[in-house]
Amino acid sequence: MHDVGGRGEPFHNFPAAVAEIAAGSAQGKRLEIWFQDEARIGQKNKITRRWAKRGTRPSAPHDQRTRSAYIFGAICPKQGKAAALVMPWCDTHAMNQHLIEISRNVADNAHAVLIMDQAGWHMSNNLVVPGNITILPLPPKSPELNPVENIWQFMRDNWLSNRVFKSYEDIVDHCCYAWRTLQQRPWKIMSIGRRHWAQGF
């Protein structure tokens, strides 16, 4: 059960699920609510809106080459924190590396509830979940509930669209720059990522 726009309850037992984590794997530590997702950024890039003089038709570069990279991104909206890796592939091994990176960003006295979709590499039996993280999957086919989707749109609109990437290395450099710039704006992470149903834990 969820509402359009992702501002309501993602599934009816969310508070109960969080309470169970708090009483169990969190071992009495305070909880940090995190959201996770991946985005493919490539040479065959999207065209987004841009400023132009009224009455003119602005041009934008559009590349047909196919080199790409994946941003594995996670945010903790309440704390304004973020953790990411840029990887050449999207699989369980890459997800395991991202879980390690998220784990490093969880406060010492906290336990992370990591909310993400049910992609195959998220649910793999070979996933190695650090002890300070518990995964809580979103309902199927509900990307609107994940605020990282809105983070991707913000990053594309501001740093990753309407450009030509020279190489794979250039893609990685731009992805890293965009994410580091986002991290320097914790208020933006809070603003984009806040969901009222995920507050108060």
The confidence score (pLDDT) of residue 192 equals: 98
Beta strands in the chain (DSSP E): 30-42, 68-76, 81-87, 110-116, 133-137
Phi-psi label, residue 5: left if phi above 0, alpha if psi -120 to 50, beta otherwise: left
Report pLDDT digits (tens) over 147-174. 999 999 999 999 998 778 999 999 999 9
**pLDDT at residue 201, as a whole number:** 78
Counted domains in the chain:
1
Residue 164 is predicted with a pLDDT of 81
| pLDDT value for 35 | 98
The confidence score (pLDDT) of residue 54 equals 67
> Does the residue 181 lie in any domain?
yes
pLDDT at residue 129 in the model: 98
Judge whether 3 lies within some domain.
Answer: no
Whether 33 is in a domain gets the answer yes
pTM of the predicted structure, to 2 decimals: 0.85
Amino acid 13: pLDDT: 82
pLDDT in tens, 38-66: 999 985 555 555 555 565 555 445 555 56
Q: 87-121 pLDDT, tens per residue?
A: 999 999 999 999 999 999 999 999 999 999 999 99
**Is residue 7 situated within a structural domain?**
no
**Per-residue pLDDT, 43:** 55
pLDDT of residue 136 exceeding 80: yes
What is the span of the domain harbouring residue 74?
Answer: 14-42+64-196
Q: What CATH number does the domain containing 109 carry?
A: 3.30.420.10
Q: Is residue 163 a part of any domain in this protein?
A: yes
Q: Is residue 108 part of a domain?
A: yes
**For range 17-27, the mean pLDDT:** 95
- pLDDT averaged over the chain? 87
> Which amino acid is residue 55, in one-letter code?
G
Measured CA to CA, the distance from residue 161 to residue 166 in angstroms comes to 14
| In-domain check, residue 118 | yes
